Each structure stands twice: as C-alpha cells, then as structure tokens.
Structure 1
Amino acid sequence: MSSCKFFFRTLGCKVNQYETEAMQKLFEAAGYTAAEEISAADIVVVNTCTVTAVSSQKSRQMIRHAAGVNPNAVLVVVGCYAQSEPRVVEKISGVDVIIGTKDRARIVELVGQALANRGEKIFRVGNVDDIRTFEELPHAPHRTRAFLKIEDGCNNFCAYCIIPHVRGRVRSRSLESIRAECLALKAAGYKEIVLTGIHIGAYGRDLKGVTLVDAVKTVLDAANPLRLRLGSIESAEMTDELIALLKTDVRLCNHVHLPLQSGSDEILRAMRRPYTTKNFSELTARLVDAVPEISIGTDLIVGFPGETDENFSETLDFISKQPFSKIHVFPYSARPGTPAASMPNQIPPPLKKSRAADALTISRLKAKIFSKRLIGRTVEIIAETSERGIVDGLTKNYVRVYVPDDGIELGAVVTVRVEKIFRDGVFGIHIA
C-alpha cells in the first residue's frame, strides 16, 4: 500500500485536530504517504464535527465536496457527525467507510478492506455507551506546540449539548500512558505542551484516586516542558490544588479557559450548568489575585430557549465586569435529542444574531484592553509560523505577538518588545 496517498480534512475542536494528526501518523506508519491536495489522494478522510447545526452542515458540505472533487478515492467519514447521524452520512453518494468516535485506531485496517473490496460500504459506528476505555492514538511530532489528549467523553449532559451523546462517558488516559507520550514529546524537542480532551477537568473520575492535578504533575515531571498549557476546564473543577500549581510553577501558562455560557442564573439553571454567577465571579477573582497577568477566556451561548431581554441584559452586565481576555460567542444551536431542542420559547434567529453581535462587541473590547497592557513591555513567544516576512507566536498568557522575520527559526524562543496593537494581537521588535 506504500504507493497509496491519503488526504485529511478536519472540522471542529483541538481534540479533532489531535485525532486527525494521530490518524495521519497511523497511515504513515503503515507505509502510506500524504497527498498535497485532495485530487491527488487515493484515500480522503473527513473528520467531522456536530457541536452546532452549522458544524453539521459544514460536515455534510465537506463530505459532498470531497466526493465530487475526487470520486475515485476511498472516502472515509469519521468523528462526531458520523457518530450522530450515521444513516445520513451513509446516504451521501461516494462515502465508502463510516467510523464514529470509536475504532479510529483501526482506520488503516478498515481502509485496507475498502481498497480491497471497492464498492462495499464499511460501517463502524457503535454505541458510545459501550465505550469504557480511552482509545490510544499515536502522537504526531511535527508542530511547535504539542497537543496531549488525556481524556475523552463527558458525563455532564448540559441541556444544549450533544457531545456526551456522540463522545460517550468520561474515559481517562492512564498516567503511565501520559508519561510515555511525554517522554516522546520531550525527545522530539517540544517546548510547549497543551493538555486537551473533551472534559479535562473530569480527568480521573473513572480511575481510582487520580485527578487532573496528577496528570499535570506527571507531564511536568516526565516532559519538563518550558510551557504547559491547560485546555478548557469547567469552573467547578478549578480546585485549590490546581490554582496553587498555577501560582507556583512557572512552567504552567498563566492562561485558563473557563466556559461561562450565560451570565444569568436563571438561564444557567435551564442549561443544567453546575454553578451560579456568584460561584464563577468568586473564582475569577481568586485567579486574578493568585496568578499574575492571568488571561481568562470563556465561552458564551446567546439566545438559549427562554432567554428574555432581562436575562440577556444580565449576561452583558456580568461579562462586562469579568476579567475576561477573550469571549467566544455562539448563538444557541438546537441539537437533535437534547432537552433544550424541545424547550418552549425558542429564540428567533435574527434576535440570536443581534445578541451575538452585542456580546462580540464586548469581547473585542476586552481583548484589545488586555493586549494593550503589553505595549512597552518585553515578552517571550515560541515562534509558530512565518508568512510574508512576519513571524508570530503566543505569549504564556495567550496573546498573539507578531514580529518581523529576521531569520527566526520556527520553534525558537523569541524575546520581543511590544510596540502596538496589531491584527488579533500585538506587534513588536525582536530584541534577543
């Protein structure tokens, strides 16, 4: 099969990106090579997303596009949309292999079957409730930042969210497996590791006597990275021990992402979120007090069923007062089979769009205010990309910094004096 070429298209979150890179590594290990464009591939894999209706629509469009551009390739559809709507995917012309959110580690084997039996559709979508163990996938050592997946699944079942239905319950990666991958990442020379998963704050709930703090300490001990960054974590799971680590270990990035979803307690209850605005506000105050220059990002859903003008006004007031550096704003999207999809008082799309615009205005202002604090200061970035004479990278507290490329090597630690606001971050001069 060494003459066969593969091509991936990926939608969705960092977990999907991690899983795509891992599947690419499986193909490479089996002797396949990557195609530079979709039309040159013998195998096309679409890794799908279904977190919103738009994500599902884009997944369908991408599948149809792949089938149209390269009808002779084996077309493989994997991921959350394939898990959520397998029969819809099955009916799309040109699809040869359907894999949900399990059996991705067998993708090379299943593609081999499809290549040997052209015209025979392979269907591997099982019940996510049957998944009880973490699926091991290899790391893909070619980026400046390494994503380390430590967990999959979610037990929360928030009223709006389809993810537990397509990802299953929490499955934690063993500390031994985390340590082994960390040693490989260390050998590959990574300076920054990002812990990722569907619900990393729940890490260890399916293991005995293990928590996220144990996973963090394992990574710090085994990989000893220059930086360790946490992925999104629920506010209720930001423990005293974790805050103490953020405060005392300089390798931990002073950046957290705490999904808020609403600034109205009434809406939070309807969403089945396990905290109040008071809980959330007390936590952000503690973080700002404990961790210097911390960047706090969040997610916000506007237009949830039953959200009144008063509820939304409460949300705007709340987020305005919070020390957020960035707010990801999502208009509510009804997902089939979730409680919120059948709730009364669904919000009209134009009103959801208007509310999203109002929240985004606050988000942009907060991002600009946070970034402006860096002007005149010296910061360190890890060079990530270079394009048209400009290199960019992130500070520890997640501000993107742009700097003229004077021969900077990607992956290098670069000291920059920040001069001005620029694009989605700041611009500066390389001083070391």
Structure 2
Amino acid sequence: MSKTFYIETFGCQMNAHDSEKVIGTLEHEGYARVQDEADAGLILYNTCSIRDKAEQKVFHRLNEYKKMKGEGKKFAVIGCVAQQEGEKIFERAPYVSIVSGSASYRNLPQMLARLERGEERITGLDDRQTDETFETEFVARTNPHRGYITIIEGCDKFCAYCVVPYTRGKERSRAAASVLEEARRIADQGFTEIQLLGQNVNSYLDPSGKMSFAELLAAVGSIPGIRRVRFTTSHPRDFTKDIVDAIDAVPTLCDHVHLPVQSGSTAVLKAMNREYTRDWYLERIAWIKAARRNISITSDIIVGFPGETDQDLEDTATLLEAVGYDAIFAFKYSPRPNTPAVAMADSISDDIKSARLQILLDRQREIQRVNYNRHLDEIMELMVESHNKSRNQVVGRSSQNKTVNFTTNQLILPALGSYQQVRITQTFPNSLLGAAVEVN
C-alpha cells in the first residue's frame, strides 16, 4: 500500500478538528496527504451521525469507493457512524479495513502499523468508557489564523434525541496545563484566535482540579499574542455565572455565547431530557444580559419533537423574542438510531414540522433585522477572513461572531488574519455592510 492518504470529513467543528489531528498523526507516521482519492493508498471517511440517514450516506459513499479496491487501496471509516454501526460496516462493505470511533483515535499509530502488516479488519470500537483524551502535538491546522483546541471529549447528558453519548463516549477532560501548553504553542506559531471545543465545552472538569472552565477561559485569554478566544458548544445545565464574569473581565474573550435551548417549552424540554426548565434557562440569559459588555447570544432549536403541540411551538416563539437571539440554527426533528426518542411516537407529519420551522424562522428573521440594525454607524474590529474580488469586498468577522462585508480604499487588500476597524453602513438580517476606517 502506498503511504499516501485522502480524507473526507463531514459534520460538526469537532469532527473537522478531529480530522486535523488525524491528518497530523498520519503525517507523523510517514504518510503524505493527497487531494484526490485516485492518488491515495489509504482513503479515510470521517463520519457524522447527527443528520438524518447519515449511515445510508456513508454506505453510498463506500459503494462509490468500491471500484478502487482492485487498485490496492485501503479504506477506513472513522467517527460517529463508525462507532454507531460498528462491525456491521465490515459486513456491508467488506473492502473496508479500519473502523474506528473517535474515542480510539489515540491508537491510530498502532492501527496503521497493523494495516501495513496486512491485517484486513481492524477496529477501534471499545474505548467509550476510557478516561483518556486524544492529545497530540501533530495537528495539521487548516485555518492559519484560528486554532482549535478540544478541551473535553464525549458527553454524559443523554438527551433523548441525541446519539453523541453512544458514539463519542463519556465526558473526559484534558488537564488545564495540557490545554494551556497547546494554546501557548499555537500563539507562538502566530495564531491570534483560539476556539475551545467540546460537545459540552462548559462541562469541563480539570482532572488536576486546578481550574474551573471560567478560569481556563481567562488563562487562555491572557496568553501573549492571543487577541480572541471563543468556545463552543455550551450546555445550559453547566453554564455558570462565572463564565459571564470572565467575559466581562478579560477583553480577549469574545462577547458571544452560543447556548442551545432546543425548545422554549418546559414540557418538551422534560421529554427531551434536557434537565432544565424554560425559567431556569432564562435565568442564565439574564446573567448574560446583565453583563457590562454587550454579549451576543445564539442558539439551537429542534422543531417537531414527539408530542410537541401548537402551544409548545408558541412557547418557543415567545422565547426567541424574550431572549432576542442574534442567530438560531433550527432543524426539524428526525429520529436517530440508539436514542430514547426512537421509541416515542413521532406523530407530527413532515409538512407540519416544515410549517412550524418556517414560523420560527420568520419570527427570528424579524428579531435579527432589529438587532442588526442597532449596529448601524458602529465601528467594529474585524478579523479578515476572505476577499470577495467579484464584489470588490473584504469579508471579516466581529468578536460577536457576525459576518461583515466591507470595502476599503487601500490599493492592497488587508491580509487574511489581520484586524481592521470598520464602520457599519448598512444592515441586513444575517450580515452587515461597512467601510474600512482608513488610517492616515
């Protein structure tokens, strides 16, 4: 087998960062990455089980790869669908050589060695109860300005609709000293923004007992050279007031909190096993709104969960207005394998789910129109992320995680990763338009 590899990644930012670490590990083991599967000796498919029919999409893609088996290529299915489907993948796609869940990634070097010795069926599926995390210095960072650091893996929440605890295993946190060492290494490499990751990032518990999550945030934000620190995704059950206090106290901590609520109905939240009420959630929102800084709030919503009534939907709609979210990510409920909600009667038709989703999106659009209009004539500091040459615009992102398209009079466009002061000249429900504040 040629020691070249091609990797395809699907799913969340956690999956994307997992792939950065997998790529770095493979390269450390002497493999060279290629951009076309036709040139690869090893093809890896990093999978996600959150979306509907995810496993069907995996097997469809594997069937497309099947024709390459005769070319001596090897195949690996890793990630959440790999853990979910397990050795059934070998049965349905016998040309696959490695099936590994994310809790076993730290064993990749041994799995690769076994593959090179000619083993045909190699699994990493038995580590969901491990206390170890996947820590490596060998990370192939794809964004040259924003560095991602996973501080906690797995999930112990067992929400009724979610497959993550079954695919990523129990919660296990990295030692604060290890996180800070990686953060300092990132800063030394020239990164100015760090994003801390976890399925429930604020559920972080330092194994050494030295730092709370809020203290870790503040420590990362105090590292020389770091101008912005973000974190995602928070769980309301573990969102504490000291997180808000840290954002107020440390200017490098971005003034943005993503706090998924999923539903504004206490009855639906109970059915979802979220273990908080509407009022309990709104208390956390009150902490955020009472901060000295203007902290942007975004959320996730599931529409059409089994048993959801018209009144439950209205409870969610009124929650949108009570919070005044700057953005929501809203989805129709679909059952996931191995979750408690699979056994619930899903009597809400897809048409009704679609109609309810549109109701929420229409209300949220009006909320965002008002929210974004407040930024008119404001001067924001943006990190430059890309250039839209067709429109002669620069695309930047604010500390509040808002996208701003802006123009500049400079002959040379500002470099990617640089910071630019921009005055907002026009507002839209999902983005802002501005002009660079030129320095004489």
Q: TM-score, normalised by structure 1?
A: 0.92
Q: Do 1:23 and 1:105's aligned partners in 2 also have CA atoms closer than 8 Å?
A: no
Q: Do 1:170 and 1:205's aligned partners in 2 also have CA atoms closer than 8 Å?
A: no
Give the 5 Å matches for 1:176-195.
Answer: 176-195=177-196
What is aligned with 2:57?
58
What is aligned with 1:265?
266
**Aligned pair in 2 of structure 1 residues 153, 288: CA closer, same or farther (>3 Å)?**
same
Matched, 1:415 2:421: yes
CA distance in 1, matches of 2:332, 2:185: 40
Matched, 1:427 2:426: no
CA distance in 2, matches of 1:404, 1:59: 42
Runs of 4 or more off by more than 6 Å in structure 1?
Answer: none
SS in 1 for 2:147: strand
SS in 1 for 2:102: coil
Matched, 1:397 2:394: no
Give the 5 Å matches for 1:22-421.
Answer: 22-68=21-67, 72=71, 73-90=73-90, 91-117=92-118, 120-129=120-129, 131-138=130-137, 139-143=139-143, 144-204=145-205, 208=209, 210-222=211-223, 225-388=226-389, 389-404=392-407, 406-421=412-427
Q: Do 1:74 and 1:115's aligned partners in 2 also have CA atoms closer than 8 Å?
A: no
Q: Do 1:178 and 1:218's aligned partners in 2 also have CA atoms closer than 8 Å?
A: no
CA distance in 2, matches of 1:57, 1:403: 42
Q: Do 2:218 and 2:250's aligned partners in 1 also have CA atoms closer than 8 Å?
A: no
Q: Do 2:305 and 2:346's aligned partners in 1 also have CA atoms closer than 8 Å?
A: no
Q: How many residues align?
A: 429
CA drift at 1:386 = 2.8
Give CA-to-partner distance per residue, 1:54-94, whole Å, 9 cap, x none.
Answer: 43343333433444577633211101110011133222253
SS in 2 for 1:366: helix
SS in 2 for 1:334: coil
Residue type of the partner of 1:393? G
What is aligned with 1:19?
18
Residue type of the partner of 2:160? A
Q: Do 2:217 and 2:253's aligned partners in 1 also have CA atoms closer than 8 Å?
A: no
SS in 1 for 2:63: helix
CA distance in 2, matches of 1:421, 1:75: 48
Q: Do 1:11 and 1:59's aligned partners in 2 also have CA atoms closer than 8 Å?
A: no
CA drift at 1:399 = 0.5
Q: Do 1:393 and 1:400's aligned partners in 2 also have CA atoms closer than 8 Å?
A: yes
Q: Do 2:48 and 2:79's aligned partners in 1 also have CA atoms closer than 8 Å?
A: yes
Q: Do 1:6 and 1:44's aligned partners in 2 also have CA atoms closer than 8 Å?
A: yes
- TM-align CA RMSD: 2.3
Give CA-to-partner distance per residue, 1:182-238, whole Å, 9 cap, x none.
Answer: 111011111111111111111007553642123213312445510111212122322
CA distance in 2, matches of 1:80, 1:43: 19
Give CA-to-partner distance per residue, 1:4-48, whole Å, 9 cap, x none.
Answer: 322211111111111101111112223322212222222211111
SS in 2 for 1:180: helix
Q: Do 1:160 and 1:335's aligned partners in 2 also have CA atoms closer than 8 Å?
A: yes
SS in 2 for 1:253: coil
CA distance in 2, matches of 1:247, 1:218: 14
Question: Bigger CA drift: 222-231 or 195-204?
Answer: 222-231
Residue type of the partner of 1:396? S
CA drift at 1:423 = 9.0
CA distance in 2, matches of 1:159, 1:279: 19
Q: Do 1:192 and 1:226's aligned partners in 2 also have CA atoms closer than 8 Å?
A: yes
Residue type of the partner of 1:403? F
Question: Bigger CA drift: 188-197 or 369-378?
Answer: 369-378
Residue type of the partner of 1:408? P
CA distance in 1, matches of 2:306, 2:70: 42
Q: Do 2:205 and 2:213's aligned partners in 1 also have CA atoms closer than 8 Å?
A: yes
CA drift at 1:362 = 2.6
CA distance in 2, matches of 1:49, 1:253: 28
Question: Bigger CA drift: 180-189 or 81-90?
Answer: 81-90
CA distance in 2, matches of 1:409, 1:311: 48
CA distance in 1, matches of 2:106, 2:116: 17
Residue type of the partner of 1:412? S
CA distance in 2, matches of 1:174, 1:322: 34
**Aligned pair in 2 of structure 1 residues 110, 261: CA closer, same or farther (>3 Å)?**
same
Question: Bigger CA drift: 394-403 or 83-92?
Answer: 83-92
Q: TM-score, normalised by structure 2?
A: 0.90
Q: Do 1:23 and 1:137's aligned partners in 2 also have CA atoms closer than 8 Å?
A: no
CA drift at 1:342 = 0.5
CA distance in 2, matches of 1:205, 1:60: 39
Residue type of the partner of 1:286? W
SS in 1 for 2:87: helix
CA distance in 1, matches of 2:58, 2:213: 32
SS in 1 for 2:215: helix
CA distance in 2, matches of 1:392, 1:30: 37
SS in 1 for 2:151: strand
CA distance in 1, matches of 2:201, 2:225: 20
CA distance in 1, matches of 2:261, 2:354: 19
Where does structure 1 lack aligned partners over 5 or more consecutive residues?
none
CA distance in 2, matches of 1:422, 1:109: 52
